Amino acid sequence: MNILERYHAMEYGPAPEARNEADAWLAARDFGKALFIGGGWKAASSGKTFETSDPSSGKTLATLSDANAADIDAAVAAAAKALPKWSASSGYQRAKVLYAIGRAMQRHQRLFAVLETIDNGKPIRESRDIDVPLAIRHFIHHAGWAQALDKDFPGHKGVGVVGQIIPWNFPLLMLAWKVAPALAAGCTVVLKPAEFTPLTAILFAEICERAGVPKGVVNIVQGGPEAGAAIVNHPGIQKIAFTGSSEVGKIIRKATAGSGKKLSLELGGKSAFIVFEDADLDSAVEGLVDGIWFNQGQVCCAGSRLLVQEGIADALIAKVKTRMSRLRVGSPLDKNTDIGPLVDLTQLDRVKGLIAEGAKQGAICWQPDATLPSSGYYHLPTLATGVSPANILAQEEVFGPVLATMTFRNTEEAIELANNTRYGLAASVWSENVNLALHVAPQLKAGVVWINGTNMFDAACGFGGYRESGFGREGGREGMFEYLAANLPLGPEIKPATLSAEPVEQPDGDTIDRTAKLFIGGKQVRPDGNYSLPIADAKGRLAGEVGLGSRKDIRDAVSAARACKGWPEATAYNRSQVLYYLAENLSGRAGEFAARLTELTGASSKMARDEVDLSIERLFLYAGLADKFEGRVHQPPARAVTLAMHEPVGVVGIVASYGSPLLGLISLIAPALAMGNTVVAVPSERYPLLATDLYQVIEYSDVPAGAINIVTGRTAELAAVLAKHDDVDGLWVFADADTCAKTEAESIGNLKRVWSGNGHTLDWASSEAAGDVFLRRAVEVKNVWVPYGD
């Protein structure tokens, strides 16, 4: 074949990347001492080992130490020993170390790329041109955050010793995403790479030695599930950062419940790739190749669900098939390879099994006519058409080179299909009409939305999901908060409620009996069970009765909150006016509320009036901040801007504590409302009459029906119902330690965001118990990438 014929055929000869330096590195290492602890290399205390292999051939690359709980103890001890000096070092000192790591990685980036490819199986183009440069970018970017920490994050400090567990699909990049912000924040690290892909983490540990990282600041332990469980459960670790499957994320959420550990989870996804009829189809096809066949589809944010408008579906599918037939499957070290092997035989078998099940459920699975290599864990790119929304290929994360296709008729149907998943990590929107794209993006339940692009990442831009894709962000300003702790003013420990349904002493004199109802959907309603709970005043006399709420009442309240569209869709300015009006009306009844506080709590008249006045001030504060706590515009080193938009979490359950019963309740409800959330509140079990007295104030303050719902009753019982309810998106719990732990453990159904006081109340009168710290809890940060230029 001459040059002209080869040009027209678009066939390429082999272009292998040399692996001799990587092989020399492998041959020179004693992987029997692969645990990097306290600045030195150690063997596993048990003597156990495991193998890592080349996915393209199945051949063993190295046999490594397999850490157990004793080794994790040693790593945590080393990190704890190094923590005081590292956290006390100046931002400039930490910045110099981070910069040195980045520069050292640059000097060895070719070795990193080849090692990543032979250990993971991803094509060398991807590891060389994407993974390694991005990893380096994270360290150099976060050097700047280290030096700007005091100025940009006042009132925060590093959380402490951090346990980090990373997956096998982006071994080096995930390491950088986690280690860089942790070091910048002044934390020390115990990191466990995936057992399938440990090699670049070992090379990184060598870089840390050369770059002057103090001993014990970074500890890297190779191992399997035992090592991971030991990290999660270790009492000496203050934060867990995990990237992996949603199933394991739920196990970690449950295991850390009640421990007080900070937790961030970056989990699975089933991202929608939406193509509207006015899209540039050729560009969309190239984006689709990058979206689903990048890294063999082993990407948590892979665009694995193609949603295409009906009028262009046939044309787009034809173009996709043509493009698929030209994808080159082969050696990952060949620079012309598009699709390498899957990481392991178990992953290959899983992908095959899901495709077979999808076909049984009606999908038509098409593959290009191509020959696979004779050895290795290869799988052809697969296009599934005729996929119903309930098909397993449309609902489950395949984590392989499989694209499920569905059609839609209009914008509303596209959004509904895109959100028809329990995940919420990413989405791509393709349209030449930027107005349409920016109309759709905010309505997608996804933490990252790419417009006319896909798989765009940068250290300056946050990444993370909604729903069962986890919580927390990695990268950018929002990612730094994951490794910082706010100095919240802790109050006394909360004791479990001891109220009984037994009669209390009746008040003297003639009184008109009044039983306060529940407040659901803008109305005062009787509890479903028609039971009530007597409430005593400070002298033990009957002050009144409240409805004894139940599971069904919480159900009704959550339904009302979910149905309230007017509040989250209102402008921030309109929300601020309503909150100002609420404060105004509460001010008009300040004397009445102060008297009620004195009656119930025994507080002096002055203390009671101070609490009411501060409650009004809090409403004013959050009314003023409703249209000022805004997102940001990031400028990554690409022809794009990233809009970090603040969105409401959704339906937020609030369980208020006994301390400062009026101020504590308002200090939680107000920031949630200010950011556009709807609320289901469970007031203090001991002092619920303060909440029921608010009903009338709410009713004549223009608050839309369902924006605030209040269910009185037993704190522990109602908190558990909120935790289990999958239509509750966030839960703030200030109750006794046992109730806090149980709500965290029972929140795993939809992995809702839980914020608890871990058995303590806050000093609600403190200025630190208000402001941005609370508003951040009330928002999700969605990063929308908008490209520009030709």
> Active-site residue numbers?
266, 300
Task: Output the CA–CA distances (angstroms, integers) from residue 109 to 22, 125, 170, 579, in the order listed.
Answer: 11, 13, 15, 54
The C-alpha atoms of residue 45 and residue 557 are separated, in whole angstroms, by 54
Residues 6+ positions from 243 with CB-CB distance below 8 Å: 165, 166, 167, 174, 177, 178, 265, 266, 267, 300
| Tokens linked to 102 | 């980045």
The C-alpha atoms of residue 396 and residue 407 are separated, in whole angstroms, by 18
The C-alpha atoms of residue 671 and residue 664 are separated, in whole angstroms, by 12
Widest CA span of the chain, in angstroms?
A: 109
Listing from the earlier edge strand, what are the strands of the sheet with 35-37?
A: 40-42, 35-37, 218-220, 188-192, 161-165, 239-243, 262-266, 470-471
- DSSP conformation letters of 250-301: HHHHHHHTTS--EEEEE-----EEEE-TTS-HHHHHHHHHHHHSGGGG--TT
Q: Are strands 490-493 and 35-37 parallel, antiparallel or unpaired?
A: unpaired
The C-alpha atoms of residue 36 and residue 219 are separated, in whole angstroms, by 5
Q: Helix or strand or coil: residue 788?
A: coil
Say if residues 299 and 126 touch (Cβ distance below 8 Å). Answer: no
Eight-class DSSP state of 108: T
| Tokens linked to 559 | 């339904």
The C-alpha atoms of residue 212 and residue 351 are separated, in whole angstroms, by 43
Residue the block writes with tokens 């009984």: 500
How many CB atoms are located within 10 Å of the residue 779 CB?
22
Q: Are strands 49-53 and 305-309 parallel, antiparallel or unpaired?
A: unpaired
Residues 6+ positions from 206 with CB-CB distance below 8 Å: none
Give the dihedral sign, CA 490/496/501/506: negative
The C-alpha atoms of residue 205 and residue 67 are separated, in whole angstroms, by 16
Residues 6+ positions from 558 with CB-CB distance below 8 Å: 651, 653, 680, 709, 722, 725, 727, 728
Residues 6+ positions from 213 with CB-CB distance below 8 Å: 97, 101, 183
Radius of gyration of the chain (CA): 28
- Closest by Cα among 343, 338, 214, 235 to 288: 338
The C-alpha atoms of residue 175 and residue 167 are separated, in whole angstroms, by 9
Residue the block writes with tokens 């306290």: 38
Measured between its terminal Cα atoms, the distance across the chain in Å is: 36
Q: Helix or strand or coil: residue 734?
A: coil
